[in-house]
């Protein structure tokens, strides 16, 4: 069967449309970085920005796409990939390869704009590299003493904000997929970094009870090190961390800031384990390059494997987390309350969980059911207004300021003054609520997240150059703060 390029592109587009329906958020995030080159005689040629996108798309989308193409054309499709770092991604959050360090791979699950491309196109073979070798044989069991039994993969809710870190954590636990060493998980407080690290340990222990796992906070590593020096037990310390360890999990590495001697020791620990191909997982509240007072050689090693960040979860993920937590704790939580909690507590899962537990405790003390009225009253009393602001509050303030109807902001009306007010509202949502671009898009008449990104960028640029725009923003900021 021979087809023209237009026909084959149409076949490909039908196939990927089918895939988009299966998982729209993931699709946008990943498939946006793939370009169709050709489909001729059963060979589908695709161009991707980097190897990680290639592997992800290949694992998650390709089977469905090739099945669909087979359904349409009868071909058993083979895929030829080209890695092209110059490829302009239509979707801004496609993961980027870092420009200089050849062995590192930085993946952002965020909606941050992509970095500039670094090197020219290079065709690659269709197959991914062989899986990493199995860890060294295990000798004696070792149980990390402070693992939270509830922090498992089963209790971790996966969404676009954390799916890369989650997938990488499963791979680090030997659960398939490419294993990156080290795995560096970074993100703000209370977003699930420690949970994932514990989940890795539980999974490894479940599957290989003899595995020698060391789970330490960087603070504990420091204290162990100091104690070893004090008591002349450096040989034991080194044997423990550099030899009798199959998996090293280090939480909150930022704690090593400025601790030069501990950094030096950790550097050698890292090298020893890495040299033996033992998995190392590190968490941090910052990207490696943003770690303060950290030796450059350590920073560079942290980026050798995979840097996966965790962002604040989207609304749907927050709802799922709060429902899950309620189910785990045996709390009866109506859907409208779950949604309300997820709407008002946006940036920190720990806080979301804490609020749920507090509500449940108060409800059992007072005998009142956890219903919407109860939740609203409790949260309003306990939280400053600014923190429980919602997209609707911002839309209301913007409409009031520009004398518009609320429907104008969600309508398709592109009149200049309405479009400007809409852009301002989107900008304020991003600034104040830290909600994701897709989430904002949905609240503004189901607009695409790229539209929201460009609106926010436009206002950011005007804010710095146009005094009138700045005046509107300041007036709105005052209004929103005044509501607090």
Ligand X SMILES: Nc1ncnc2c1ncn2[C@@H]1O[C@H](COP(=O)(O)OP(=O)(O)OP(=O)(O)O)[C@@H](O)[C@H]1O
Q: Which amino acids are annotated as binding site for ATP, given as ranges?
A: 190, 192-194
| Stretch of 150-158, 298-306, 406-414, 474-482 lying at the interface with ligand X (CB under 6 A) | 150-158
- Cα–Cα dist 106/287, whole Å: 9
Q: Which residue is nearest to ligand X (CB)?
A: 192
Window 247 to 306, contacts with ligand X (CB under 6 A) = 285
Name which of 77 and 356 has its Cβ closer to ligand X: 356
Does 433 bind ligand X (CB under 6 A)? Our answer is no
Q: How far is the CB of 192 from ligand X (least distance, A)?
A: 3
Residue whose CB is less far from ligand X, 121 or 148: 148
Cα(362)–Cα(378) distance, integer angstroms? 9
Q: Decide if 291 contacts 284 (C-beta within 8 A).
A: yes
157 versus 273: smaller Cβ distance to ligand X: 157
Q: Is 186 in the site for ligand X (CB under 6 A)?
A: no
Complex with ligand X: residue 81 or 156, whichever CB lies closer: 156
Size of the site for ligand X (CB under 6 A): 18
Q: Which of 18, 220, 286, 350 binds ligand X (CB under 6 A)?
A: 350
Residue 228, φ and ψ in degrees, nearest 5: -60, -40
Among 47, 68, 108, 151, binds ligand X (CB under 6 A): 151
Q: Is residue 318 classed exposed, middle or buried when 0-12, 13-18 and 19+ CB atoms within 10 A define those classes?
A: buried
Does the protein bind ligand X through residue 218 (CB under 6 A)?
no
Residue spans of beta strands (DSSP E) within 183-333: 183-187, 213-217, 247-251, 279-284, 306-310
Q: Which of 16, 94, 191, 426 binds ligand X (CB under 6 A)?
A: 191
Binding-site residues sit at 190, 192-194
* Stretch near ligand X under the rule CB under 6 A, chosen from 125-133, 148-156, 397-405, 430-438: 148-156
Closest separation between CB of residue 211 and ligand X, Å? 21
**Closer CB to ligand X, residue 193 or residue 432?**
193
Applying CB under 6 A, among 192, 288, 438, 441 the residue interacting with ligand X is 192
Question: Using CB under 6 A, which of 119, 189, 261, 364 touches ligand X?
Answer: 189
321 binds ligand X (CB under 6 A): yes
Q: Is the Cα dihedral 299, 302, 307, 310 positive or negative?
A: negative
69, β-bridge pairs: none
Q: Considering the rule CB under 6 A, would residue 84 count as an interface residue with ligand X?
A: no
Give the max Cα distance, the chain: 77
Nearest by Cα to 298 from 285, 311, 282, 310? 282
Nearer to ligand X, 73 or 162 (CB): 162
Token reading at 191: 């977003």
In angstroms, the Cα distances linking 98 to 50, 122, 326 are 10, 16, 40
| Residue 349 binds ligand X (CB under 6 A) | yes
Q: Smallest gap, in angstroms, from Cβ of residue 78 to ligand X?
A: 37
Whichever of 287 and 420 has its CB closer to ligand X, that residue is 287
Shortest distance (Å) from residue 318 CB to ligand X = 9
* Adjacent-strand bridge partners of 43: 40, 78
Q: Is position 368 an interface residue for ligand X (rule: CB under 6 A)?
A: no
Cα 29 from Cα 107, distance rounded (Å): 12
Question: Judged by CB under 6 A, does residue 472 bind ligand X?
Answer: no
Question: Rounded to an integer, what distance in angstroms lies between the CA atom of residue 146 and that of residue 21?
Answer: 42
Residues 6+ apart with CB under 8 A from 40: 2, 3, 8
Determine, following the binding rule CB under 6 A, whether residue 432 of this chain makes contact with ligand X: no
- Residue 110 makes contact with ligand X by CB under 6 A: no
- Select from 192, 441, 200, 195 the least CA-distant residue to 309: 192
Among residues 156, 184, 215, 402, the one that binds ligand X under rule CB under 6 A: 156
Contact by Cβ (8 Å): 214, 248: yes
DSSP H or E run through 78: strand 78-83
Interface residue list for ligand X (CB under 6 A): 151, 155-157, 162, 187, 189-195, 285, 321, 349-350, 353
């Amino acid at each position: 069967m021979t087809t023209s390029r237009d026909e084959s592109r149409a076949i490909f587009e039908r196939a990927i449309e089918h895939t988009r329906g299966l998982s729209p958020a993931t699709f946008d995030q990943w498939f946006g970085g793939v370009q169709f080159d050709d489909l001729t005689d059963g060979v589908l040629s695709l161009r991707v920005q980097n190897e990680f996108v290639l592997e992800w798309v290949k694992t998650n989308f390709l089977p469905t796409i090739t099945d669909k193409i087979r359904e349409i054309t009868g071909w058993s499709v083979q895929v030829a990939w080209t890695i092209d770092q110059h490829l302009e991604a239509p979707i801004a959050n496609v993961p980027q390869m870092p420009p200089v360090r050849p062995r590192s791979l930085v993946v952002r699950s965020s909606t941050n704009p992509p970095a500039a491309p670094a090197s020219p196109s290079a065709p690659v073979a269709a197959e991914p590299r062989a899986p990493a070798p199995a860890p060294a044989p295990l000798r004696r069991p070792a149980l990390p003493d402070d693992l939270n039994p509830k922090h498992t993969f089963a209790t971790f809710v996966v969404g676009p904000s954390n799916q890369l870190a989650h997938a990488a954590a499963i791979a680090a636990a030997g659960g398939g997929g490419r294993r990156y060493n080290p795995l560096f998980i970074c993100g703000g407080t209370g977003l699930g970094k420690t949970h994932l690290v514990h989940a890795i340990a539980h999974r490894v222990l479940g599957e290989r009870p003899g595995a020698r796992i060391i789970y330490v906070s960087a603070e504990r590593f420091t204290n162990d090190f100091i104690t070893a020096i004090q008591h002349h037990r450096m040989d034991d310390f080194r044997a423990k961390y550099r030899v009798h360890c199959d998996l090293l999990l280090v939480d909150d590495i930022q704690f090593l800031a400025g601790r030069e001697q501990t950094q030096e020791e950790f550097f050698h620990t890292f090298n020893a384990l890495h040299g033996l191909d033992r998995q190392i997982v590190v968490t941090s509240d910052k990207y490696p390059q943003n770690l303060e007072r950290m030796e450059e050689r350590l920073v560079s090693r942290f980026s050798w494997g995979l840097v996966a960040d965790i962002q604040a979860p989207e609304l749907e993920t927050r709802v799922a987390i709060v429902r899950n937590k309620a189910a785990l704790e045996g709390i009866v939580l109506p859907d409208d309350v779950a949604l309300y909690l997820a709407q008002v507590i946006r940036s920190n899962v720990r806080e979301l969980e804490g609020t749920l537990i507090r509500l449940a405790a108060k409800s059992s003390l007072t005998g009142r059911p956890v219903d919407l009225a109860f939740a609203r009253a409790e949260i309003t009393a306990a939280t400053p207004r600014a923190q429980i602001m919602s997209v609707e509050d911002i839309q209301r303030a913007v409409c009031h300021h520009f004398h518009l109807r609320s429907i104008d902001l969600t309508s398709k009306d592109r009149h200049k003054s309405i479009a400007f007010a809409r852009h301002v509202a989107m900008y304020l949502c991003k600034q104040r609520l830290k909600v994701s671009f897709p989430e904002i898009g949905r609240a503004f008449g189901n607009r695409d997240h790229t539209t929201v990104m460009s609106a926010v960028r436009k206002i950011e640029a005007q804010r710095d150059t146009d005094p009138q725009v700045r005046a509107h923003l300041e007036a709105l900021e005052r209004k929103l703060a005044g509501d607090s």
